[in-house]
Chains A and B, each alone.
Chain A
Amino acid sequence: MLTALSIMLGLAIALGLLLGYAALKFKVDGDPLIAKIDAILPQTQCGQCGYPGCKPYATAIAHGEADINQCPPGGDAGVRALADLLGVEYKPLNGEPKPKSVAFIDENTCIGCTLCIQACPVDAILGAAKHMHTIISSECTGCELCVAPCPVDCISMTPVAETPENWKWKYPTIPIVPVAHQG
């Protein structure tokens, strides 16, 4: 009886120590799910989901506070990827995805107030106080956060033009050819 008890107690202590050690040794910093969700989000940091950036939205999704269909820049594919990852039902996107655009500063109108620089979440605006600002278009995510703060409305969103470099082959379709009337 006593032997059995001591064995069980000993086992409990040994396993408890082992588990405790493992918990310390293999501790995972941060929530890996948040990182996984964040990897799917398009990182425009636009706040259209109602959260102040992609990471906060990812955190909210991971905690079950936000829906998966609140990210218009991610598009339908983004919602599907999130649904796949989280094992939940696909939901139609809340909002319309816009064509990829980048901000453009009309440099004749810009007064150099730096308000847009402070608003840009990815530091894609170059300039200094009382000096003309300009967009680093390769870094611009098209979040439109710089448009509202501009006191002189000199920022506009320009859709990215199609060039031979970024041109994509289209989905094969059967061309409809007009046929002459018979008789």
Chain B
Amino acid sequence: MNAIIQFTQKLNGIFKFHGGVHPPGNKSSSTQAPIADVTLPALLTLPLRQHVGHLPKVKIQVGEHVLKGQLLAEAEGAVSAAIHAPTSGTIVAIEEAVIPHPSSLPDYCIRLQPDGKDAWVAHTGQDWRNTERSALIQSLTGSGIVGMGGATFPTQIKLRTDGKSNIHTLVINAAECEPYISCDDMLMRERADGIVQGVLIAQHLMSAEKVVIGIEDNKPLAIAAMQEAVKNTDIQVKIVPTLYPSGDARRLVYLLLGQEIAHDKRSTQEGIQVFNVATMLALHRYFDHGEPSISRIVTITGNVAQPQNFEVLFGTPVSHLLAAAGGVGTDTSHYIMGGPMMGFDLPDANVPVTKASNCIIAASPGLFPSAPPAMPCIRCTRCADACPVSLQPQELYWFAKSDNFEKARDYDLFDCIECGACSYVCPSHIPLVQYYRYAKSEIIATDKAKEAADLARERNEARLARIEREKQERAQKHAERAQGAKKAAEKMVAAADSDQAQTGATADEAKKAAIAAAIARAKAQKEAQAATGEAPKNMAAPSASVQQEIADIDARRAAVGLSEADSPAMQDADKQAKIAAAIAKAKAAKAAAQTGHSATSATSAVVDPEKQAKTDPAIARARAAKAAAEASKNVSELAAPQLTTTASADQEKQAKIAAAIARAKAAKAAAEAAKIAATAGNTDDAKE
């Protein structure tokens, strides 16, 4: 019997793939009413991750007002898709929110508050028949169109012809094999002309010779509508038998063309490209009307009052759609996005509809009774019979369960399309696909870790090589420098040997010149200080003892009540004291000069007699002290006879003060002498 069916199918140009199952369709409930529009929700949530590939780059800011169809985020990188505003309104937030994803994890979303006007941004269609193909595909990057069948692969990449693969056949996937889902069915019934326009655009872009639309035979109205729409074109509508999963791209290619695509190849390498029927309508809307991808048809079915298909703006919360379908039954347990075979449970009903959402099913225990506990695998191989990819699901299950991932990979785990046919037929109710998904994600994670490890190794090796290289460079530099110094030393020795006396003389002269220069510098500095009226440093910050002395003098002065205008006698006395001090200073200088003279005979290099005179600080100091003492004595001697009897006490005091000043001056002179002597000593040392 089977053989006869296959023979007749071959006559019709239909090739049956291996396996497959016949789950109850449950499609008719949602196909009774036409596609309806939904009211604008209060808030649209647009996840940035609605497609396969890189996240798009956000181009708007919070608070900005946007028009319907305005670009919100532009495609970034080769594999990426743009996102547009589904309606006019205000961007209220760009934040993390739970997205419809099996992980139930939050991701970046743009929140748009509609203003109710639904005002379009300026948009026009393109004359795609008379435009450069590359320009059309380039413009498609800004359309936001992705594969609407669920794979959400950016369409501009699928339409891009790179010259290597020459696409000769276009397959339009309208099989819609999964139970409950009827969005493509309704789309074909109502918008067949638009779809055909889109197909023509795709055919033009890829210059495909042959176009085949594959529709399952459980959609007679859609078939009729499509056959009507393709009448004046060379597009072929093929009816395929209802069998899950005929909607899988490779299964459909085989069904329609009888061509198997090797598991390590893409269909494009065989010259075949597959598009979903809803993607074709999106293409037509974009190229003929300039409308980007902002809405899709979504089936709302299951445990709702009026199951129906809706034209839904992306970002509309699922709860809003469920309300539009008449509300959910009280026994609703959870919501499924996608079909019952391949879909996933939603974390809650507030997640938004995205480009991939083709169906929302309100599940109840009546519709989806919880699976009985899994029993052990009895190796009946019913799963292998049902597998459309001709894998060995029982083996894969075994390997996945025992974490034997390498073996699972060897058994072509990655060819599994996760259709769920094996789980569906399993008499032990083993959730086989869950095991495969687990094993796949573990293998992917391990591969990524391996890649990261390889990168880390590369970087570590590069670093070690760099450190080694720098070390060698340093060592080389040091060696070079050492060699250079050695050479210079040798040269010097040679020069000294040949012209020793001359060199010695010049060295002496150079040293002398240096000393003279230093002295000149010091003098210049002193003069500069004097010129600017700046006090020398030792005056600016006198030592404690000096300060004490000054304070003492001031105190005594105050006690005496000394002032310049006191009396002429006093003035005289003052003058005399000054003279005495001058004499004392001169004597001290002379004495110092004498000591210096004696020192000069000892030292050979004589530049400045005055300076060199002060070579011996101790002697100079002693002489200065002696001179000072003499000076003070002189002062008192000189002052005494001229004193008037009345002011004798005062005079005596003044004399003392004068003596003290003289002493201080002498001390200063001595200190200077010592300083100079020290420098002289240094130069002497240097000379030796």
B partners with A: yes
Chain A residues at the B interface, C-beta cutoff of 8 Å: 38, 41-45, 53-55, 77, 121-124, 139, 141, 162-172, 174
Those 7 A-B pairs whose CB atoms lie nearest each other, nearest first: A167-B103, A168-B441, A43-B456, A169-B437, A172-B434, A43-B453, A122-B459
Cross-interface CB contact of A45 among B102, B431, B460, cutoff 8 Å: B460
Q: From residue A58, how far is it (CB to closest CB) to chain B in Å?
A: 10
Q: Indicate if B374 sits at the interface (CB-CB under 8 A).
A: yes
Q: Indicate if B516 sits at the interface (CB-CB under 8 A).
A: no
Q: From residue B587, how far is it (CB to closest CB) to chain A in Å?
A: 62
CB-nearest residue of chain B relative to A53? B460
CB-nearest residue of chain B relative to A121? B460
Identify the interface centre among B99, B454, B460: most chain A CB within 10 Å of its CB: B460
Task: Provide the residues of chain A in CB contact with B457, threshold 8 Å.
Answer: 38, 43, 54
CB-nearest residue of chain B relative to A168? B441
Q: Indicate if B105 sits at the interface (CB-CB under 8 A).
A: yes
How far is it, in angstroms, between the C-alpha of A172 and the C-alpha of B430 when the chains are bound? Answer: 10
How many contacts A-B (CB < 8 Å)?
Answer: 70
How far is it, in angstroms, between the C-alpha of A77 and the C-alpha of B450 when the chains are bound? Answer: 13
Task: Provide the residues of chain B in CB contact with A54, threshold 8 Å.
Answer: 457, 460
Cross-interface CB contact of A170 among B438, B453, B455, cutoff 8 Å: B438
B103 touches A43 (CB 8 A): no
A164 touches B49 (CB 8 A): yes
CB-nearest residue of chain A relative to B101? A164
Task: Provide the residues of chain B in CB contact with A164, threshold 8 Å.
Answer: 49, 99, 101, 103, 105, 107
Q: From residue A24, how far is it (CB to closest CB) to chain B in Å?
A: 27
Identify the interface centre among A55, A122, A170: most chain B CB within 10 Å of its CB: A122
A168-B442, A169-B440 known; A122+B434 contact, CB < 8 A: no
B453 touches A42 (CB 8 A): yes
| Residues of B contacting A: mostly | helix
How far is it, in angstroms, between the C-alpha of A38 and the C-alpha of B456 when the chains are bound? Answer: 12
A174 touches B373 (CB 8 A): yes
CB-nearest residue of chain B relative to A161? B105
How far is it, in angstroms, between the C-alpha of A163 and the C-alpha of B454 when the chains are bound? Answer: 23
CB-nearest residue of chain A relative to B47? A164
Q: Indicate if B605 sits at the interface (CB-CB under 8 A).
A: no
Contact flags B45-84 to A (C-beta < 8 A → 1, else 0) = 0000100000000000000000000000000000000000
B456 touches A141 (CB 8 A): yes
- Name the interface size band of chain B: 20 to 34
Task: List CB contacts (< 8 Å) of B435-480 with chain A.
Answer: 435, 437-438, 440-442, 444-446, 449, 452-457, 459-460, 462-463
Task: Provide the residues of chain B in CB contact with A38, threshold 8 Å.
Answer: 457
15 contacts between A and B (CB under 8 A): A43-B452, A121-B463, A139-B455, A139-B459, A163-B107, A164-B101, A164-B103, A164-B107, A167-B102, A168-B441, A169-B102, A169-B440, A171-B438, A172-B434, A172-B438
B456 touches A44 (CB 8 A): yes
CB-nearest residue of chain B relative to A169? B437
A169 touches B438 (CB 8 A): yes
How far is it, in angstroms, between the C-alpha of A124 and the C-alpha of B441 when the chains are bound? Answer: 27
A162 touches B456 (CB 8 A): no
Cross-interface CB contact of A169 among B107, B373, B441, cutoff 8 Å: B441
Task: Provide the residues of chain A in CB contact with B105, threshold 8 Å.
Answer: 162-164, 167
Task: Provide the residues of chain A in CB contact with B440, threshold 8 Å.
Answer: 169
CB-nearest residue of chain A relative to B445? A168
* Inter-chain pairs besides A54-B460, A121-B463, A166-B445, 19 sampled, C-beta below 8 Å: A42-B449, A42-B453, A44-B456, A54-B457, A77-B446, A122-B456, A122-B459, A124-B459, A141-B456, A163-B105, A164-B107, A168-B438, A169-B437, A169-B441, A170-B438, A171-B438, A172-B435, A174-B373, A174-B374
CB-nearest residue of chain B relative to A84? B406
CB-nearest residue of chain B relative to A74? B453
Contact flags B125-167 to A (C-beta < 8 A → 1, else 0) = 0000000000000000000000000000000000000000000
CB-nearest residue of chain B relative to A77? B446
Q: From residue A119, how far is it (CB to closest CB) to chain B in Å?
A: 11
How far is it, in angstroms, between the C-alpha of A169 and the C-alpha of B432 when the chains are bound? Answer: 13
CB-nearest residue of chain A relative to B449? A42
Task: Provide the residues of chain B in CB contact with A55, threshold 8 Å.
Answer: 460
How far is it, in angstroms, between the C-alpha of A23 and the C-alpha of B237 when the chains are bound? Answer: 68
Q: From residue A167, how far is it (CB to closest CB) to chain B in Å?
A: 4
Identify the interface centre among B49, B107, B440, B457: most chain A CB within 10 Å of its CB: B457
How far is it, in angstroms, between the C-alpha of A135 and the C-alpha of B67 when the chains are bound? Answer: 40
CB-nearest residue of chain A relative to B466? A123
How far is it, in angstroms, between the C-alpha of A71 and the C-alpha of B373 when the chains are bound? Answer: 39
A123 touches B459 (CB 8 A): yes
How far is it, in angstroms, between the C-alpha of A42 and the C-alpha of B103 when the chains are bound? Answer: 27
CB-nearest residue of chain B relative to A172? B434
CB-nearest residue of chain A relative to B431? A172
Q: From residue B56, how far is it (CB to closest CB) to chain A in Å?
A: 14
Contact flags B105-134 to A (C-beta < 8 A → 1, else 0) = 101000000000000000000000000000
